[in-house]
Amino acid sequence: MIRPIPHMLLLATMALTSCASTKPAPQTEAQTPAEDPKPSFKPSAEPAPKIDAARAMQYVREQVAFGPRWPSSPGHKKIQDYLRSKLKRDGLEEDRFTASTPVGKFDLCNFIAKFPGTTDQIIVLASHYETPYHLKDIKFVGANDGGSSTALLLEIANQLRGKKRTGPAIWLVFFDGEEAFKQWSETDSLYGSRHLAEKWKQDGAAKRIRAFILADMIGDADLNIELETKSPPWLRDITRQAAADLNVSAHFFGRETSIEDDHVPFARIGVPVIDLIDLDYGFNNVFHHSADDTLDKLSPRSLEIVGNVILEMVRRLSGD
């Protein structure tokens, strides 16, 4: 993740002065999803599984042990092999492409694990797995940024694997190239998600996506998931209901902010998106993109809260 630092400080200030009734900030993009009427589908009758928080935390530890994971680094290769090995039984697809960045061309790869359903609809759960190239000169291990959400998706895969699903398929997407190579801009960011959104627009998959749920920086022991402004009201409601069901509402939607992340290219092509992200990592977000983004700042309980809310959201999105 995500934005240039000056924006981040501004956001943090806004966050402190906003409250749940604050009107959404003016948007310059992706206005349409928020206007969509509530879809008619119902929750599935099948209960949602629960994640194993200790195992999810172990997956964060294993990624951090690879060291920095910026594109073309040894750690990047290691995490790609790790994802291949963990997801080898899950209909894994590799979406390879070459990205032209301000510092040259890079071979990047999104991974997509596919769990079939009984309809042509799709629920997408997504994360990015790489760490920023522009931080290659500090020891940035991305326990929270990159590590936490990737670990959570791997644990969600454990919960889906080998079970018959009715309703939409679930596709788990592990994006490469979310981060800027030099400095965050429209063209130097979101390489993997821009590539995949274009591909799914062309092949028609985008039209079949019932919801796209992105997780990013969800491991912070002091968990406060933002209300990101590009999500449609009905999908926010499903998130709120899932959190209420699990008695974890206090961790959700205390602040309303606009954030650039891997959901943006999908919002632009009309896919209903939500970004579950905690952009207040340490006081004034000081641990974000710093060498202090380490395991000791994380809690397995935070992974558990977000993981179980996502699985309950999936249940609520899975009926006819």
Give the residue numbers marked as catalytic: 178, 216
Piece of the chain touching Zn ion by CB under 5 A; list 1-9, 100-108, 190-198, 219-227: 1-9
- Say if strands 169-175 and 104-115 run parallel, antiparallel, or are unpaired: antiparallel
Q: Which is nearer to Zn ion, 1 or 305 (CB)?
A: 1
- Contacts (CB under 5 A) with Zn ion, residues 229-268: none
For residue 60, the one-letter residue type is V
| Contact letters for Zn ion, residues 68-87 (x by CB under 5 A) | --------------------
- Which of 1, 126 has the CB closer to Zn ion? 1
Ramachandran angles phi, psi of 219, nearest 5°: -95, -10
Residue found under tokens 């006819």: 320
CB of 253 to Zn ion, least distance (A): 21
Q: Nearest distance from residue 67's CB to Zn ion, in Å? A: 16
Q: Give how many residues touch Zn ion by CB under 5 A.
A: 2
- DSSP code string of 245-301: HTT-GGGEEEEEE---STTHHHHHTT--EEEEE----SGGGTTTTSTT--GGGB-HH
Binding flag, residue 90, Zn ion (CB under 5 A): no
Nearer to Zn ion, 143 or 305 (CB): 143
Nearer to Zn ion, 145 or 278 (CB): 145
Rounded to whole angstroms, how far apart are CA atoms 185 and 260? 10
Cβ partners under 8 Å of residue 205, min gap 6: 122, 199
Helix and strand numbers, DSSP H then E, in the chain: 8, 8
- Beta carbons within 8 Å of 200's beta carbon, 6+ residues apart: 206, 209, 269
Spatial contact of 43 and 318, defined as CB atoms under 8 Å apart: yes
- Token pair belonging to 114: 């596919």
Least gap, CB of 303 to Zn ion (angstroms)? 18
Tell me the helix, strand and coil percentages in the chain, rounded to 5.
Answer: 40, 20, 40
Residues 135-164 that bind Zn ion (CB under 5 A): 145
Query: Which stretch of DSSP H or E encloses residue 54?
Result: helix 53-65
Q: Which is nearer to Zn ion, 145 or 220 (CB)?
A: 145
CB of 180 to Zn ion, least distance (A): 9
| Closest CB to Zn ion among residues 95, 145 | 145
Give the nearest residue (CB) to Zn ion. Answer: 1
Is 226 an interacting residue with respect to Zn ion (CB under 5 A)?
no
2 versus 223: smaller Cβ distance to Zn ion: 2
Closest-CA residue to 304 (of 49, 51, 48): 51
- For residue 304, count CB atoms less than 10 angstroms from its CB and return exposed for 0-12, middle for 13-18, buried for 19 or more: buried
When asked if residue 1 is in the footprint of Zn ion (CB under 5 A), the reply is: yes
Burial zone of 273 (CB within 10 Å; 0-12 exposed, 13-18 middle, 19+ buried): buried
Minimum CB separation of residue 164 from Zn ion in Å reads 37
Task: Provide the minimum distance between the beta carbon of 15 and Zn ion in the complex, in angstroms, as a whole number.
Answer: 18
What's the min distance (Å) between Cβ of 216 and Zn ion? 8
Q: Which residues bind Zn ion (CB under 5 A)?
A: 1, 145
